[in-house]
Chain A
Amino acid sequence: MTTASAISVQGLTKDFRVGLRGIKLRAVDNLSLEIPRGQVFGLLGPNGCGKSTTLKIVLGLVPATAGSISILGFPSATSEARQRTGFLPEAPYFHKFLTGRELVQYCARLSGVPSDQVNDAVEASLDLAAMTEAASRPIGTYSKGMLQRIGLAQAIVHDPELVILDEPTAGVDPVGSAAIGRMINAMRAKGKTIVLCSHLLGQVEQVCDRVAIMDRGRLVLEGRVDEVLAQRDRHVITVEGLTPQAREAAEAALAAHGAKVTSITHPRRSLEDLFRALVTGSRDA
């Protein structure tokens, strides 16, 4: 079954009953969304905006109050849909007594990977998650970044077409975040659809093709990253060797054509770039 959308959400609504009086709390409000295949899709929003609830409904972990969802053409929560989906939950927790390799083997078995292919699938996913060296250690000894990476390995061990990552870089240092970003790019290169739920907007901007922003259970914006971020009425010109005289002349020339210079500043790199350059450099050395 081939459809243009990896995930199609139509009129999704979710109400929770809270308290003894059963007061209705609407977590997701008539959400409709199409996530195209083969792209990295960022689902953004503040805490409590309904992103995680939406993901849980997509995965069949929480029933919807109203609406319908299909995954790769199959109704969500069916075995066919789950067979094609990988999921890394937020702040994943795994059985500490298992080694990383045992966990990924366990998940491969549950995901229906044929017995004669389990070992190859496990080693391939451990390799992609850069966890081969630590795979024989018990999970209880892992750092937070390693937990996220082994979580990613278990999510992709059955080679799913769709990978859903809920806050994959939460609590991970910038170097670990960059490693996870590289894994996402590697999966994109293989044609996988990736849904990324994150608060790290810088990372989302870097890796996502499209984004959707949710607020109070509703979709407030959706589109291609370059389109939604572009400010078409403003321009940035980067100039080297700008003297005060040249600057005045440039401003006058622009003013003569009706344009107004609103700011002239020195370009700066992000703190994340600086941190990554310094820390990665010292680790590599």
Chain B
Amino acid sequence: MKPFFTRSGWIARVTFLEAIRQRFFAFLLVLSAAMVVSSVSFRFMDFGHSELKFVADFAFGGMFLFGSVLALVMTAQLFFAEIDNRTALTLLAKPLSRTEFLLGKFIGTWAVLGVFVFSLAFLQGVILWSRAQELIVLATESGRVAPEFSASGLFSFAVLQWFRLGVVAAMVLMVSAVARTFLFAVVVGAMTIVAGQLQWLAQEALLKPSDANALTKALLWLSSRVIPNLQQFNIGDTLVLDPSAVPADSVGAVVASGLFYLIAFLALASLAFRRREI
């Protein structure tokens, strides 16, 4: 078992080094960081929510949007770079199984996504904490209820986002394992992300009593099981600003669900890649 993880670890290491050097990664990280920082300037807008909630939602949105783009494009790009540049020929001629290769690619990509998520979460934490301190002083002076900010909640949120991006990367890797071109992998990968974002609709439709026929119900049931619910990871503002409202075991349950889909998609990717001609 040890050589399996050692070899995957080396693939992951080189994948990480390759990804972290990409201008695309740097561009999205800077763009997302700019979005997080600029969220402070929108604090005077009032859409019926508290200031910190608006700032947090805006920054979480940036992390979600650019993180999804990064997970989608970078996973497909790193996979197809090995195939198109024929480095895979050299690597897969070695005593390295295709599962080890795919696992290494995934771990390397997921590590880069971790750098992305936790860097932004740290930046957002600094911004939210400093603004929360100002608001606490103002609230104390005016006798209002002071806003709450939970650093551990932000960390939990970052972990959830990291798992969400991990599920996305695993889905894209599964699509890439069968796709012939990078473009096909990106387009189909994007569709699976959209399907994951809308999966809750299938779940809701199943729960509601309806006169839909058996086939429709079967399709709804299937899509609610096969497609992961990516919306379940979006409990960031509650975790950060009102942590007591989140049940203690909910983060663990979402992580477990993400881990299940992540492993399932990687297993399917490995199965599909096994007989692919390199």
Residues of chain A having any CB pair with chain B under 8 Å: 56, 59-63, 79, 82-83, 85, 87, 89, 91-95, 97-98, 106-107, 109-112, 151, 154
Contact = CB atoms under 8 A, between A and B. Distances in A.
B256 interface: no
For the complex of A and B, 3 pairs with smallest distance between CB atoms: A87-B93, A82-B95, A61-B278
Contacts of B94: 82, 87, 107, 110-111
Interface string B81-109: 00001110111111111000000000000
A109 B95 contact: no
A93 B95 contact: no
A61 B90 contact: no
B12 to A, nearest CB: 12
B93 A106 contact: no
Contacts of B278: 56, 61-62
Nearest to B90: A89
Interface string B230-251: 0000000000000000000000
A56 B18 CA distance: 26
Contact of A110 (B18, B89, B91): B91
Interface in B260-278: 275, 277-278
B169 to A, nearest CB: 20
Given A95-B14, A97-B17, A85 B93 contact: yes
Given A79-B97, A91-B86, 5 more contacts: A61-B278, A82-B94, A87-B89, A87-B90, A110-B95
Interface of B: 3, 6-7, 10-11, 14, 17-18, 21, 85-87, 89-97, 275, 277-278
Q: Tell me what chain B mostly uses at the interface: helix, strand, loop, or mixed.
A: helix
Contacts of B18: 95, 97
A94 B95 CA distance: 18
Contact of B90 (A63, A79, A107): A107
Given A61-B277, A109-B6, A110-B10, A82 B90 contact: no
A28 to B, nearest CB: 13
B21 A93 contact: no
13 contacts: A59-B92, A59-B93, A61-B89, A63-B275, A87-B93, A87-B94, A94-B90, A95-B18, A107-B90, A109-B10, A110-B7, A110-B91, A111-B95
